[in-house]
Structure 1
């Protein structure tokens, strides 16, 4: 009998080894979180056919079911934009004199066509260790994590020193109405806070899925969009002339394409390149160290320009994104236009970039007009009060992975809050693959472990901030 028992034990061990490591124990409230995340992701919030208002109402219903009073939940939507509404929820703190902490996430997602996707983009699929769906990462993972956090803390009976606020808004991906800007300009009282946590940055993974560094977004570029236009009387295509609207705009675009804006580093980008130079090493790392020492180092700039992220981090960039011209195949063009999209470093005005484009084009036949938008503002300081808790929790979950401040080359709703005087940081704890999980593209995905780790990271971090002394 003893021999049989030993054989059984050996067989069990062998089967266990074949099965691989044991699955991690579920997090507290994980099943409820998954259900909330699924409901949010499967609520279509595209501009064309979805409703952020419905998503906000569903999240408010979950918070109310968890015990939040009606007075702590503010649903908002303008009559002219009934589907672009949002939600502000308040978790009262025990010290009314302590400044609040705001958690900001957007509910809207970019468009997705079912015929282009492998799976229905508005159904949450879990396959091979990934969640697949439009918005699975950008930004419904963050919105779900923040909403779940409020529910989790309420169920624990937690009483923070600082009041916590949650703002779920619409319009970050563009469109008719931007909820974050509207709140900052019209209901500042609802979202007023000592600082805010927003999307973006995250734990950067290499191609093998290994964490390389934990990025914290401390600054953002400003978006500037410019329209180049040339007009001409036109005529029959059998009588071509050198004065051609298409030629004028094409030459203008070529001159912009050949131009490199000067490297313009600030405290955040110097810190980024300084830290990353030690992480990546080699030629690229040496170029990072060199650009910190001398932003005019042409050789270093040439090396860093090979990497799109490094290139974007060095300074302002402009790129042609749209072109329209002509009205008939057998007619000389009467009009040609090109759209130039620029991402402008803080401290440089959109007007200054326009002046640079006009000087590069050097053609009176081409007009340069600029779309309206916010001017850039410098990001908030990375104080020990902000960074020390991030480093502490990051080390707990991703030991040995350095925390690195970054400047976002795109733009987020955090810019509206920073402009309104609320320091805002991109801190989300999601682990992102080099391709960003196909955000805005086909078959968007995010690792299941990434979402659950980010949930735990946010839970631990916000509790530290919520009990922090001033």
Structure 2
């Protein structure tokens, strides 16, 4: 069919007209239909506090059934004890007996949003000044809509992929408070989602803040998320007769030491390639320092320059930061207990044990306990920098974004990719759409995504999935 090429040309025209402006781009009829799919997802509340992923999964299944998928190609799953946390697996069979399947992964759930805090209703799809607004607009319902749209287009067009294409839309990535769908599938239905590799969130482009796309990235690895409680205890007593042995003071001293401690640089193939390539693309002092540091991690002068950028600093090393604190039991009593939560994002090659030991050594006070707490995802495993994955994406980036480099990167956050590695599915965060340097309100207020990012990203991901699906 000629339509996909025409769509790509139209997408390039959208891109060349600018990043985000007050003038919204004129959309083709198929793009209008895609916008309605995206709108339906955003206006389906999937937060853990007030929403239902199951409803969103059922709506997406209905779209795919209307496109021609049969009941045996669609699996809507949920547990009786968690009826709101369901998901969907869809399968488009391949023609090859030797090519292994690929998996498109996406989470339906979003971070909770309070209407009183937002300028706009977070669960209303609003178009304004070249952006689409709504909770999930950026994280990650644009990509979920693109996955569903691509699966539907493939079926309608009669596309016969060499490798089977699977899509898993799950719940619980953002909170995991009740059920994580990716974890449940990996542990209970591994054959249903078995694949040679998976495509996920975590990659994408970045603008210069004025709408110009300056980089595209492929996420190849991520950090692990662990939290620790620091706690000091004391018999307490009457506040009129204070003593230096005070639980709050002990905890405060420990927190100051945690703040001052810098974990050592830990490069891997992905981050070393990132700093070398991203640094070479810059012409400033920071870029030069990035290149030098990739060549020599012991270059302290280069480290000092690169570490001033909070994002780059987090890519270099494990980071731990205080996020919550509580202490005391009465205004007129010495504290019997003081506790703070430290959230750590652990670099590949380290784990909770090495991180806990480093914190204990930095604090240097046996009276302050360091205890692992909270949800425990598997420790992230960095997938290989596979040319079979990188080359199709590089070719498409060159076509869609001439002159923009595709750079392998490690996410400083955590995704559901961690649940796929234990069952042998390396997972990559793909390029395509893009965001602004301010993060576009993801996990925060007034979340948004540029209209051009959504529409160009849709075409890019369609072409990327087709390229992988036709590999031998």
TM class by shorter chain equals over 0.9
Deviation at 1:395, TM superposition (A): 1.3
Structure 2 residue matching 1:160: 3-state secondary structure? coil
Structure 1 residue matching 2:68: 3-state secondary structure? coil
Paired with 2:205 and 2:70, the residues of 1 have a C-alpha distance of: 35
2:411 is equivalent to residue 405 of structure 1:
no
1:98 corresponds to: 99
2:441 corresponds to: 438
Paired with 2:286 and 2:132, the residues of 1 have a C-alpha distance of: 33
2:464 is equivalent to residue 465 of structure 1:
no
Superposition pairs of residues 227-238 of structure 1, within 5 angstroms: 227-238=229-240
Deviation at 1:103, TM superposition (A): 0.2
Preserved CA contact (<8 Å) 2:25 2:452: no
Structure 1 residue matching 2:326: 3-state secondary structure? strand
Deviation at 1:375, TM superposition (A): 4.4
What count of residue pairs does the alignment treat as equivalent? 450
2:365 is equivalent to residue 363 of structure 1:
yes
Preserved CA contact (<8 Å) 1:98 1:162: yes
Deviations 1:78-137 (A, max 9, x none): 111111111101111112432111000000000111111111100000111100000011
Deviations 1:270-325 (A, max 9, x none): 10000011112221011111111211221111111110111011111111111110
Deviates more, 1:156-165 or 1:89-98: 89-98
Q: Which runs of 5+ in 1 are unaligned?
A: 1-19
So what's the TM-score if we normalise by structure 1?
Answer: 0.93
Paired with 2:421 and 2:102, the residues of 1 have a C-alpha distance of: 14
Deviation at 1:25, TM superposition (A): 6.3
Q: 1:258 pairs with 253, 257, 260, which one?
A: 260
Superposition pairs of residues 171-320 of structure 1, within 5 angstroms: 171-174=172-175, 175-320=177-322
Deviations 1:383-414 (A, max 9, x none): 22111110111111111100000000000111
Deviation at 1:31, TM superposition (A): 2.2
Q: 2:383 pairs with 359, 367, 380, which one?
A: 380
Preserved CA contact (<8 Å) 2:318 2:344: yes
2:419 is equivalent to residue 420 of structure 1:
no
Deviations 1:164-220 (A, max 9, x none): 001000111122211111111111011000110001221111122211110110010
Preserved CA contact (<8 Å) 1:220 1:407: yes
Preserved CA contact (<8 Å) 2:107 2:170: yes
Deviation at 1:361, TM superposition (A): 1.2
Return closer, same or farther for 1:293/1:333 CA change in 2, 3 Å cut-off.
same
Structure 2 residue matching 1:370: 3-state secondary structure? strand
Paired with 1:271 and 1:336, the residues of 2 have a C-alpha distance of: 43
Q: Which runs of 5+ in 2 are unaligned?
A: 1-20
Paired with 2:69 and 2:62, the residues of 1 have a C-alpha distance of: 9
So what's the TM-score if we normalise by structure 2?
Answer: 0.93
Preserved CA contact (<8 Å) 2:222 2:413: yes
Paired with 1:207 and 1:34, the residues of 2 have a C-alpha distance of: 24
Deviation at 1:28, TM superposition (A): 6.6
Paired with 1:139 and 1:428, the residues of 2 have a C-alpha distance of: 13
Deviation at 1:138, TM superposition (A): 0.4
Paired with 2:26 and 2:150, the residues of 1 have a C-alpha distance of: 19
Paired with 1:201 and 1:74, the residues of 2 have a C-alpha distance of: 27
Preserved CA contact (<8 Å) 1:103 1:198: yes
1:130 corresponds to: 131
Structure 1 residue matching 2:281: 3-state secondary structure? helix
1:453 corresponds to: 456
Paired with 1:102 and 1:230, the residues of 2 have a C-alpha distance of: 47
1:12 corresponds to: none
Structure 1 residue matching 2:361: 3-state secondary structure? helix
